[in-house]
A and B are shown apart, each in its own frame.
Chain A
Amino acid sequence: GNSVTQMEGPVTLSEEAFLTINCTYTATGYPSLFWYVQYPGEGLQLLLKATKADDKGSNKGFEATYRKETTSFHLEKGSVQVSDSAVYFCALKRGSTLGRLYFGRGTQLTVWP
């Protein structure tokens, strides 16, 4: 089947610290991988995506590399800011067609000044 496992939170960091949120997946075929971010009381916004092995998605200083050999898509940022405090979701979609997303449980990130 298809599933996503994210590291459990909450994660608490000081401003300018390095961030890693681990994400591994199980999927049939060649999925597309996503990181979404959710700010309090809002819906989800796409942060970055990768559609094939070794692709690196990046946005707003965040990066994640699609690693087929380790079935991973870890999210990283070199220097977090207070404004990065949010819930982060790793997700996959089968192939490159229209279809549902399979989500991890989400990781709450809090950044202190």
Chain B
Amino acid sequence: DGGITQSPKYLFRKEGQNVTLSCEQNLNHDAMYWYRQDPGQGLRLIYYSQIVNDFQKGDIAEGYSVSREKKESFPLTVTSAQKNPTAFYLCASEGDSNQPQHFGDGTRLSIL
């Protein structure tokens, strides 16, 4: 089945540590997105990529980094510079302007 796989489902970060969230899709979609979800705030865009080896900052990119070396993969690194990383992170992909974005099941990140 085609879809988006996010891993791990739960992740814990220690102070001063970088952690990487995985997002893989087998839908052959060109565009991929990372959103952050906090209670009562909807989803906010962190980074997005519309083509391999290119990505753009979203509304809340500070403290995060991404790479897009392969079409299928768009990992998100939460760096130690992100002072409030506790949130639910959602990855999405889009392949056709007439089709909706598909979402993964998310990764919940917490601080130890």
In the complex, the answer to whether B42 meets A105 with C-beta atoms within 8 Å is yes
User: Is A96 positioned at the interface, with any CB of B under 8 Å from its CB?
Assistant: yes
The number of residue pairs between A and B whose CB atoms lie closer than 8 Å in the complex comes to: 53
The residue that B45 contacts in the complex, of A36, A89, A100, A105, with Cβ under 8 A, is A100
- Dominant secondary structure of chain A at its interface with chain B: loop
Closest beta carbon of chain A to B111's beta carbon, Å: 19
The residue that A49 contacts in the complex, of B40, B41, B100, with Cβ under 8 A, is B100
Closest beta carbon of chain B to A8's beta carbon, Å: 9
User: Is A20 positioned at the interface, with any CB of B under 8 Å from its CB?
Assistant: no
User: Is B43 positioned at the interface, with any CB of A under 8 Å from its CB?
Assistant: yes
State which of A39-47, A63-71, A72-80 sits at the interface with chain B: A39-47
Q: Which of B43, B98, B105 has the most CB of A within 10 A?
A: B43
Please give, as numbers and ranges, the residues of chain A lying within 8 Å of B78 by CB-CB distance.
Answer: none
Interface residues of B (CB under 8 A from A): 4, 6, 30-31, 33, 35, 40-45, 48, 50, 58, 90, 92, 94, 96-98, 100-101, 103-106
